């Protein structure tokens, strides 16, 4: 029997996994959620013997039940290959009093690669399965890392086009360079004069525009999303939480059934939601610690039960977490509302009209296991310095938010549970901020020279992704106001 997915805003809207991957967002504006969370079908003993790809298959086959074994294995093998600079794919390192799960060994040196290297394969296979004739247009808003990872994943993939919008002044220099140098005839990259939420709102508006959808269809196109709202991104992310536990078990760092905590640097709430699903599958997880930067909407939400995006948007040194509307939280809201889609729709309507909503007491009780924390810019820098001076291990600014929140959590609770800090980007991606935090004097302006300096300090190899953008020509220069996004898309697709 197939595991079905339904919309968080209308339970009668049910689709298979491959259809959910294809649609991205449900037509009613909701997100697709699995009707039940499948339970792991193998013991931890067995799972600990698998390599990353084998484990990926064991986890993904339980969620993506209408894909054949061959389709899944082919997708997995094409995704987790030598684009990653380690055959472990997601190495777990013991550093000081915690473990760091390094998710930045893929093509664009941030954790988005974990899902976006496989999504194009899941998507094109889904189009074939569902007899889709149209060309798929991936429309994506990015806070920096999704954009490049999606571009890298979809570039020159037959039957697809990809259009990426990013906040012109809201991403790091390396992030921007990575995107504007993207090759591939089917790629477009546009900067907007606005922040990530503006970009995301503009993209969502196009997705929900039925008149536009009609014109697209007539022209032979179909929109899909590579944003973390796509279930095809969420499912591959569950894998590394199972893998972490299996690795710890294999290394005899945990005994069978012993709970561990995860600390996740959070923005759109996709990564930590995957951890929640892993817990639902039966992985022994204690606390899920949600770490925010100064845009601490989620921290306030976990404190009070009130989500309120009406506040100043702060640009921080961890730009991929500069988000006030965490889209994937909608899925958690749906689950803690005991799968009440009407209630979820009401909350989301309140969010879009007033920018705020407050959950009920019984929903609050269902949040058990989640802890919110946040780190200021100063605390983030201190964490980078502390982890380096104690362990000669350099972490990036996003991971540092989590490291800081974790330190605060153990100071407060004395919780001795073994904990994994999810390491979401390579320090090379945010070299300048990292060098500044380490109080290195005379930091060069040039990105590559910064990388060389970081290489000396950290004793780690300069990643291929950084070498590559050194001499790559800029291919994308378009910039627009936020209200012109649809016009730009119509121009690119020539559907005016």
Ligand X SMILES: *Cc1c(COP(=O)(O)O)cnc(C)c1O
473 vs 29: CA distance, rounded Å: 38
Of the ranges 108-116, 130-138, 152-160, 199-207, which one interacts with ligand X (CB under 6 A)?
108-116
How far is Cα of residue 186 from the mean position of the Cα atoms in its chain?
23
Q: In the bound complex, what is the minimum distance in angstroms from residue 487's beta carbon to ligand X?
A: 28
Q: In the bound complex, what is the minimum distance in angstroms from residue 144's beta carbon to ligand X?
A: 7
Q: In the bound complex, what is the minimum distance in angstroms from residue 104's beta carbon to ligand X?
A: 8
- Selected binder of ligand X within 6, 9, 105, 112 (CB under 6 A): 112
Our CA angle for 427, 438, 406, nearest 5°, is: 70
Catalytic residue status for 429: no
Query: Which residue among the candidates 112, 125, 177, 429 is catalytic per the annotation?
Result: 112
- Selected binder of ligand X within 31, 110, 163, 171 (CB under 6 A): 110
For 397, phi then psi, to 5°, come to: -65, -35
27 vs 230: CA distance, rounded Å: 13
Residue placing its CB nearer to ligand X in the complex, 59 or 402 = 402
Q: In the bound complex, what is the minimum distance in angstroms from residue 111's beta carbon to ligand X?
A: 6
Query: Token pair for residue 364?
Result: 């609050």
- Selected binder of ligand X within 181, 225, 228, 247 (CB under 6 A): 228
For 117, phi then psi, to 5°, come to: -80, -15
Q: In the bound complex, what is the minimum distance in angstroms from residue 8's beta carbon to ligand X?
A: 17
Residues numbered 19 to 38 that lie near ligand X (CB under 6 A) are none
Residue placing its CB nearer to ligand X in the complex, 119 or 321 = 321
Q: What region does 131 belong to: left with phi over 0, alpha with psi -120 to 50, or beta?
A: left
Beta-strand pair 260-265/419-423? parallel
Of the ranges 64-72, 110-118, 184-192, 349-357, which one interacts with ligand X (CB under 6 A)?
110-118
Q: In the bound complex, what is the minimum distance in angstroms from residue 460's beta carbon to ligand X?
A: 17
Contact 190, 202 (CB under 8 A): no
Q: In the bound complex, what is the minimum distance in angstroms from residue 402's beta carbon to ligand X?
A: 9
Residue placing its CB nearer to ligand X in the complex, 109 or 453 = 109
Residues numbered 295 to 334 that lie near ligand X (CB under 6 A) are 320-321
CA dihedral over 97, 99, 103, 104, signed as positive or negative: positive
Residues numbered 405 to 424 that lie near ligand X (CB under 6 A) are 424
- Establish if 425 lies at the interface with ligand X (CB under 6 A): yes
* Per-residue binder mask for ligand X (CB under 6 A), 240-279, x = binder: -------------------------xxxxxxx--------
Q: In the bound complex, what is the minimum distance in angstroms from residue 113's beta carbon to ligand X?
A: 10
Residues numbered 430 to 459 that lie near ligand X (CB under 6 A) are none
Residue placing its CB nearer to ligand X in the complex, 124 or 424 = 424
Residue placing its CB nearer to ligand X in the complex, 224 or 320 = 320
Q: 231: closest CA among 9, 18, 1?
A: 18
346 vs 360: CA distance, rounded Å: 13
Residue identified by tokens 């296979």 is: 125
Q: Is 31 exposed, middle or buried (0-12, 13-18, 19+ CB in 10 A)?
A: buried
Q: In the bound complex, what is the minimum distance in angstroms from residue 153's beta carbon to ligand X?
A: 14
Q: Is 156 exposed, middle or buried (0-12, 13-18, 19+ CB in 10 A)?
A: exposed
Q: 10: closest CA among 330, 358, 366?
A: 330
212 to 135, 139, 205, 487, 496: CA distances (angstroms): 15, 13, 10, 11, 10
Helix H or strand E encompassing 433: helix 431-437
Contact 196, 324 (CB under 8 A): no
Residues numbered 128 to 157 that lie near ligand X (CB under 6 A) are 145
Of the ranges 41-49, 106-114, 162-170, 488-496, which one interacts with ligand X (CB under 6 A)?
106-114
Residue placing its CB nearer to ligand X in the complex, 16 or 423 = 423
For 335, phi then psi, to 5°, come to: -65, -45
Residues contacting ligand X: total by CB under 6 A = 17
Distance separating the N- and C-terminal Cα atoms of the chain: 44
CA dihedral over 44, 46, 50, 53, signed as positive or negative: negative
Of the ranges 107-115, 159-167, 335-343, 387-395, which one interacts with ligand X (CB under 6 A)?
107-115
Residue placing its CB nearer to ligand X in the complex, 23 or 326 = 326
Residue placing its CB nearer to ligand X in the complex, 249 or 299 = 299
Give the active site residues: 112
Q: Which residues bind ligand X (CB under 6 A)?
A: 110-112, 145, 228, 265-271, 320-321, 398, 424-425
């Amino acid at each position: 029997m197939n595991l079905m997915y339904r919309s968080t805003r209308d339970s009668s809207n049910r689709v298979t996994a491959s259809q959910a991957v294809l649609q991205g967002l449900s037509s009613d504006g909701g997100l697709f959620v699995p009707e039940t969370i499948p339970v792991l079908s193998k013991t931890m003993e067995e799972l600990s013997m698998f390599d990353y790809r084998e484990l990926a298959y064991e986890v993904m086959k339980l969620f993506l039940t209408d894909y054949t074994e061959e389709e899944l294995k082919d997708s997995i093998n094409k995704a987790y290959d030598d684009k990653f600079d380690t055959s472990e794919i997601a190495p777990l390192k013991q550093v000081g009093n915690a473990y760091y799960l390094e998710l930045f060994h893929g093509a664009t040196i941030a954790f988005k690669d974990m899902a976006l290297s496989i999504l194009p394969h899941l998507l094109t296979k889904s189009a074939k399965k569902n007899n889709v004739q149209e060309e798929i247009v991936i429309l994506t808003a990015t806070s920096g890392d999704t954009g490049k990872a999606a571009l890298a994943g979809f570039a020159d993939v037959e039957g697809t086009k990809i259009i990426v919008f990013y906040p012109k002044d809201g991403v790091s220099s390396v992030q921007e360079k990575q995107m504007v140098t993207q090759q591939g005839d089917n790629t477009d990259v546009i900067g907007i004069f606005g922040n990530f939420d503006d970009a995301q709102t503009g993209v969502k508006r196009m997705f929900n525009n039925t008149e536009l959808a009609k014109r697209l269809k007539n022209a032979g196109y179909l929109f899909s999303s590579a944003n973390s709202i796509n279930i095809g991104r969420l499912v591959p992310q569950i894998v590394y939480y199972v893998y972490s536990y299996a690795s710890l078990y294999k290394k005899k760092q945990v005994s069978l059934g012993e709970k561990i905590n995860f600390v996740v640097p959070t923005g759109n709430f996709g990564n930590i939601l995957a951890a929640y699903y892993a817990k639902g599958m039966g992985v022994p997880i204690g606390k899920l610690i949600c770490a925010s930067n100064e845009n601490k909407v989620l921290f306030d939400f976990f404190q009070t039960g009130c989500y309120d995006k009406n506040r100043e948007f702060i640009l921080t040194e961890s730009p991929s977490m500069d988000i006030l509307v965490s889209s994937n939280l909608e899925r958690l809201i749906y689950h803690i509302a005991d799968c009440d889609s009407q209630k979820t729709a009401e909350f989301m309507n309140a969010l879009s009209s007033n920018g705020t909503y407050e959950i009920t007491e019984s929903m609050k009780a269902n949040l058990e296991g989640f802890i919110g924390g946040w780190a200021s810019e100063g605390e983030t820098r201190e964490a980078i310095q502390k982890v380096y001076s104690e362990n000669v291990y350099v972490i990036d600014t996003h991971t540092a938010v989590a490291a800081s929140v974790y330190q605060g959590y153990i100071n407060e609770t004395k919780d001795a549970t073994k904990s994994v800090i999810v390491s979401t980007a390579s320090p090379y991606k945010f070299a300048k901020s990292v060098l500044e935090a380490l109080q290195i004097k005379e930091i060069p302006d040039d990105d590559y020279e910064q990388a060389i300096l970081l290489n000396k300090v950290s004793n780690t190899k300069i990643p291929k992704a950084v070498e590559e953008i050194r001499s790559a020509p800029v291919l994308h220069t378009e910039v627009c106001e936020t209200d012109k996004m649809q016009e730009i898309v119509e121009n690119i697709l020539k559907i005016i």
